[in-house]
Structure 1
């Protein structure tokens, strides 16, 4: 398939307010994207459109070659993995679950095991633990893990459905520097088997694995394209509504705030 995600003049209104405005955007096969913008800029609204939880008010869109209006969105969602710091609200439910149980529950889109798990499922759990370099957590309870380990286990849970798109919605929110870097180190491995859509308002989280960036401000796309073309002083200053400068270190961008005169 040529387009993983295709937005054509997508607008979304809520309570007569325009939240997303005339979005034209394509994610092509093999591209790994980040969405960057301030809080309230429209990043989460874009995700909710892609996953079909919000439906466009106008425009045409496809996800994984499925045309909205002619596809079963509940079936489409089975091909999309989703990880967010918002999932932390389920921590009380899974405190006493083993790491393996948390991961395998991703097949059933549940927290907890309420269906039969096959031997093939458990083999996939072992493979995910290996791929994410988490074998050392096997047999441990979720409650004893660090915040960074919990995020990585939740990424493993999202991979259980072998998604074609993996959405990481501010997965490093609330993590310390070490835990953040442990999560970010997974990006190179993850991109081999899925299409990443990494959402953040911290430019330094855009690692080498990310090839393209979309900048969002007030419900509109400021720019979208290859990251070195998009992550410029001028475009980032427009996106963040403050003068900034970007510099690169090992193909990773870092931001400096210009002193106001």
Structure 2
């Protein structure tokens, strides 16, 4: 890659230490424009810490973090954070149960859960409907949060993230709690989003290779706070690498354009 300016994410020599504990060590990672990445790793591998460092909720001990050409420590990261969408099942659970989906989406630019700001302008409403339509859930606009399925909530939450026109959209284990049918419906929506014009760069954090769709061209594997492997997905989703990452014998197989993982050899 010729320049950091060609990157949506540029991480160089990232380290995070707290006391005598090393959380991340010498992580180097570049995400070029037009790429979508998956991040794999066992519990405690450093996935969450890497996300927190990217979104400035965890201060690095050393190294460089750049997002969309802006450098951590030299930029108002609170402003840049608004251009980084984050979707996780944990955050989605905090939305008021009696809030209509449209208002949940409208709350996106304020980065607040629970819509309490001024009455939206017509342009706000129109764009919120557009964001819902991008995720094929505009029909849910007036439905209260309590009546949405987990998969519908995740789609609405992505629409909420799109309200800020993010350059980067992080999906942090978005399929947690979804049954197999809802998971496939949700993943289909993610694939459609990735293929839309001006789509944000997508980062999928998961434990499950089954969730890594063909649109995720590259994969990063973390182990013990360090980079175990990274590169084109077809080169990274290998039995030997995943066995090392998860500390147990595993076999990866590919059927069509999807991957499967099973214990044992």
Q: Which residue pairs with 1:120 in the alignment?
A: 123
SS where residue 90 of structure 1 aligns?
A: coil
Q: Which residue pairs with 1:198 in the alignment?
A: 204
SS where residue 76 of structure 1 aligns?
A: helix
SS where residue 124 of structure 2 aligns?
A: helix
What is the CA-CA distance between 1:53 and the residue it aligns to? 1.0
Q: Which residue pairs with 1:136 in the alignment?
A: 139
What is the CA-CA distance between 1:250 and the residue it aligns to? 2.6
Looking at structure 2, the residues matched to 16 and 124 of structure 1 have their Cα atoms a distance apart, in angstroms, of 48
Q: Which residue pairs with 2:264 in the alignment?
A: 258
Looking at structure 1, the residues matched to 244 and 254 of structure 2 have their Cα atoms a distance apart, in angstroms, of 19
Looking at structure 1, the residues matched to 89 and 166 of structure 2 have their Cα atoms a distance apart, in angstroms, of 19
Tell which deviates more after alignment, 127-136 or 109-118: 109-118
What is the CA-CA distance between 1:37 and the residue it aligns to? 0.7
On the 8 A contact 2:92/2:157 being kept in 1, the answer is no
SS where residue 148 of structure 1 aligns?
A: helix
What is the CA-CA distance between 1:136 and the residue it aligns to? 2.3
Looking at structure 1, the residues matched to 106 and 185 of structure 2 have their Cα atoms a distance apart, in angstroms, of 22
Question: Could you tell me which of 164, 177, 181 is aligned with 2:180?
Answer: 177
Q: Which residue pairs with 2:34 in the alignment?
A: 30
Runs of at least 4 residues of structure 1 off by over 6 A?
Answer: none
What is the CA-CA distance between 1:209 and the residue it aligns to? 1.3
In the alignment, does 2:73 pair up with 1:69? yes
What is the CA-CA distance between 1:89 and the residue it aligns to? 3.9
In the alignment, does 2:151 pair up with 1:148? yes
SS where residue 8 of structure 1 aligns?
A: strand
Q: Which residue pairs with 2:19 in the alignment?
A: 15
- CA-to-partner distance for each residue in 1:143-165, whole Å, 9 max, x for gaps? 11111111111111111111000
SS where residue 7 of structure 1 aligns?
A: strand
What is the CA-CA distance between 1:255 and the residue it aligns to? 0.8
SS where residue 216 of structure 2 aligns?
A: coil
Looking at structure 2, the residues matched to 174 and 39 of structure 1 have their Cα atoms a distance apart, in angstroms, of 17
What is the CA-CA distance between 1:112 and the residue it aligns to? 2.3
Looking at structure 2, the residues matched to 71 and 190 of structure 1 have their Cα atoms a distance apart, in angstroms, of 29
Q: Which residue pairs with 1:53 in the alignment?
A: 57
Specify every segment of 5 or more residues in structure 2 that has no aligned partner in the other structure, as ranges: none
Q: Which residue pairs with 2:217 in the alignment?
A: 211
State the TM-score, normalizing by the size of structure 1. 0.95
In the alignment, does 2:107 pair up with 1:108? no
SS where residue 40 of structure 1 aligns?
A: coil
State the TM-score, normalizing by the size of structure 2. 0.93
* TM-aligned CA distance change 1:184 to 1:102, over 3 Å: same
What is the CA-CA distance between 1:228 and the residue it aligns to? 0.5
Looking at structure 2, the residues matched to 157 and 60 of structure 1 have their Cα atoms a distance apart, in angstroms, of 29
Specify every segment of 5 or more residues in structure 1 that has no aligned partner in the other structure, as ranges: none
What is the CA-CA distance between 1:115 and the residue it aligns to? 2.3
May I ask how many residue pairs the two structures share in their alignment?
257
Root mean square deviation of aligned Cα: 1.3
Question: Could you tell me which of 160, 183, 207 is aligned with 1:157?
Answer: 160
